[in-house]
């Protein structure tokens, strides 16, 4: 049952990265692909029907961790205390910027909130990427399963480690490139005119950057966390994720060259999902890996709720997840085609 919940939490986090990822990417590109107020309202109109609902997957993933692996959630919230506050501020600023930009019809006011929206979106991509890098590298867990992290120490991925080192910064940059390419592919699909043309160029550059950075991150992972990739050959899901990521990156570049914008976006979804699947497969059964003694790692078995609690949670999850999936399918069906320009005074 604990292994099943590991898969469920991994799937929900993957859904969050794929769905909210295009919001982050579109936000990070906001000032680049849109030059005028009308063009920026078109970008907001493209992500407007989706971004708020996409963020619910993060809350749902936290809820799944709470009911299935409370020990891992407690240790993570405590150890990443400072980083979590940075994430919360960035999430708040994104929502505030979208709403506030249209409250005053002044160029300086709009420029300030547009810049805030773009910076907050890019920051979230980097923060989540660095957080994933921390999980792959390992955390300074003690025998009781607790840890604390300063912002940085000597900037190396060796104990004593901090939130930031050369490896986690690299994973943060990689995450930003991946989500920028993802957001650009989404905007190329959902917009037209100059915004679409700029988004297509940004997506092409993004896929090209990923082809360079991804191998570098793989080599860096081998250096920073050699035991993480050591299990790769024996994990079928890791192979499946790798093939999905390679296929997505290749198909995305091919689709962009032929103007198949929706195909490029779906390929980008496959790339991100493949990376998340491969990462989860290599991490299993550890939820929080230890950078020191491997026996201090918090695993699915050691952090799991009792079997009755997991079974009860599963019964409710089986009721809720079809409703959530149905909501997103309906939302995308209702907003097929090119996105309209958001009206003046509207948050999106």
Give yes or no for a contact between 298 and 258, defined as CB atoms under 8 angstroms apart.
Answer: no
pLDDT value of position 174: 97
Work out the pLDDT band at 348, boundaries 50, 70, 90. low
pLDDT tens digits, 193-205: 899 999 999 999 9
Residue with the two structure tokens 């990521």: 245
Q: Strand 298-299 to strand 286-288: parallel, antiparallel, or no bridges (unpaired)?
A: antiparallel
The answer to whether residue 270 is domain-embedded is: yes
pLDDT value of position 207: 95
Using the 8-state DSSP alphabet, how is residue 234 labeled? G
- Is the pLDDT reported for residue 52 higher than 60? yes
pLDDT value of position 72: 92
Tell me which of 52 and 297 has the higher pLDDT.
297
The answer to whether residue 170 is domain-embedded is: yes
pLDDT value of position 343: 59
Give yes or no for a contact between 155 and 165, defined as CB atoms under 8 angstroms apart.
Answer: yes
The answer to whether residue 345 is domain-embedded is: no
Domain that holds residue 301: 2-334
Work out the pLDDT band at 346, boundaries 50, 70, 90. low
The answer to whether residue 183 is domain-embedded is: yes
The answer to whether residue 342 is domain-embedded is: no
The answer to whether residue 340 is domain-embedded is: no
Q: What is the mean pLDDT of the chain?
A: 91
Give yes or no for a contact between 303 and 66, defined as CB atoms under 8 angstroms apart.
Answer: no
pLDDT tens digits, 95-148: 899 888 888 888 899 999 999 999 999 999 999 999 999 999 999 998 888 888
Give yes or no for a contact between 228 and 282, defined as CB atoms under 8 angstroms apart.
Answer: yes
Count of domains forming the chain: 1
The answer to whether residue 346 is domain-embedded is: no
Alpha-carbon span 9 to 23, nearest angstrom: 21
- Is the pLDDT reported for residue 177 higher than 90? yes
- What is the chain's alpha carbon radius of gyration, rounded to the nearest angstrom? 20
Alpha-carbon span 84 to 96, nearest angstrom: 18
Tell me which of 216 and 259 has the higher pLDDT.
216
pLDDT value of position 180: 97
- Is the pLDDT reported for residue 342 higher than 80? no
Q: Span 224-249, mean pLDDT?
A: 94
Alpha-carbon span 82 to 89, nearest angstrom: 11
The answer to whether residue 97 is domain-embedded is: yes
Burial readout 320-344 (b: 16 or more C-beta within 10 A, e: otherwise): ebeebeeebeeeeeebeeebebbee
CA distances (Å), origin 67, targets 6, 57, 70 = 12, 15, 6
Residue 101 in tokens: 């930009």
Nearest Cα to 300, choosing from 136, 71, 137?
Answer: 71
């Amino acid at each position: 049952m604990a292994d099943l919940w590991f898969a469920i939490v991994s799937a929900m986090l993957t859904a969050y990265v794929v769905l909210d990822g295009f919001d982050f990417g579109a936000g990070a590109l906001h000032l680049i692909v849109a030059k005028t107020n009308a063009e920026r309202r078109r970008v907001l109109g493209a992500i407007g029907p989706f971004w708020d609902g996409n963020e619910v997957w993060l809350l749902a993933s936290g809820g799944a961790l709470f009911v299935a692996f409370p020990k891992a959630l407690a240790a993570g919230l405590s150890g990443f205390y400072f980083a979590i506050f940075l994430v919360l501020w960035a999430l708040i600023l994104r929502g505030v910027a979208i709403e506030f930009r249209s409250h005053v019809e002044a160029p300086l006011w709009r420029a300030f909130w547009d810049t805030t929206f773009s910076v907050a979106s890019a920051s979230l991509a980097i923060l989540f990427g660095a957080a994933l890098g921390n999980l792959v590298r390992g955390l300074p867990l003690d025998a009781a399963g607790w840890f604390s992290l300063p912002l940085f120490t000597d900037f190396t991925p060796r104990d004593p480690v901090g939130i930031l080192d050369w490896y986690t910064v690299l994973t943060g940059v990689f995450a930003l490139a991946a989500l920028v390419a993802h957001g650009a592919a989404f905007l190329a699909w959902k917009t037209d005119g100059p915004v679409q043309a700029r988004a297509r160029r940004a997506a092409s550059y993004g896929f090209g950057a990923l082809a360079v950075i991804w191998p570098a991150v793989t080599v860096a992972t081998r250096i920073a966390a050699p035991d993480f990739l050591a299990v790769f050959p024996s994990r079928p899901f890791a192979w499946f994720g790798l093939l999905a990521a390679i296929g997505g990156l290749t198909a995305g570049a091919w689709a962009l060259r032929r103007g198949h914008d929706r195909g490029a976006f779906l390929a980008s979804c496959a790339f991100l999902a493949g990376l998340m699947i491969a990462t989860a497969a290599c991490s299993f059964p550890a939820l929080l890996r230890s950078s020191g003694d491997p026996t201090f790692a918090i695993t699915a078995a050691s952090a799991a709720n009792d079997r009755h609690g997991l079974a009860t949670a599963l019964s409710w999850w089986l009721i809720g997840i079809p409703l959530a999936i149905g909501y997103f399918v309906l939302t995308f069906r209702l907003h097929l085609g090119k996105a309209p320009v958001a009206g003046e005074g509207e948050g999106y």
